[in-house]
A = this chain, B = another copy of it.
Amino acid sequence: MFMGASTKEGQLIAEKSREIVRSLIKDKIIGLNPYEIDIVERIVHSTADPDYADLVKMSSDFVDSALKSLKNNEDILTDINMVKSGITQYSGEVKCFIKEEEVKKIAKRDEITRAAASIQYASDNGFEGIMVFGNAPTAVFKAIELYEKAELNIKAIVGVPVGFVAASESKERLYNSNIPNIITIGPKGGTPIAVATVNSLISQI
């Protein structure tokens, strides 16, 4: 099985597509290690947008720290359910708290978004693992805040929120933090980029 394809025809399409991706971005991945190259290739494969090879940045400890966490079957927390539903091959648990009643209460109490409240809820409940944000910049800010107060045990953040407001700033802030991270520069990002990153890592455990 390759890239989620489960039939011969699906597999042939996926393999041929991957070859095209390789040829399109080969000049842009110089200096990356094989793990990092696989992540970038998957992102470009899943968006058909070679620009992502220029936009993706990873801290040098991102892959090691994320792989270690995944090998230990630690939790993966996503900002929204659409991201969660794209991560289907993990032997550990993939969680999303955004629809929990308790999260709605925290959002109301603290006057924050439900996405940010879901990170507070994770912290309150002893979360340990990787956080994956494809959509909510407010979740990224909250995760950094709690990490820096030593109230959140994050091993890595996939921080690729999409949008013209707050997304870029949240990713820049994350890239300048001490948390092992992957980001995309600028407004672009989103669910497929988040999912492709995590699925690449899972396939490389």
**Which of A's residues lie within 8 Å of B, judged by CB?**
5-10, 13, 16-17, 20-21, 45-49, 81-82, 84-86, 107, 111-116, 136-138, 162-167, 186-192, 195
Contacts and interface: CB of A to CB of B under 8 A. Distances in A.
Contacts of A46: 162, 190
Q: What secondary structure prevails in chain A residues at the interface with B? A: helix
Contacts of A192: 162, 190-192
Contacts of A113: 5, 7, 9-10
Most buried by B among A5, A107, A191: A191
A17 B16 CA distance: 37
Given A17-B164, A82-B86, 13 more contacts: A5-B113, A10-B138, A13-B137, A16-B164, A16-B165, A20-B164, A45-B164, A46-B162, A48-B163, A48-B186, A48-B188, A49-B188, A190-B192
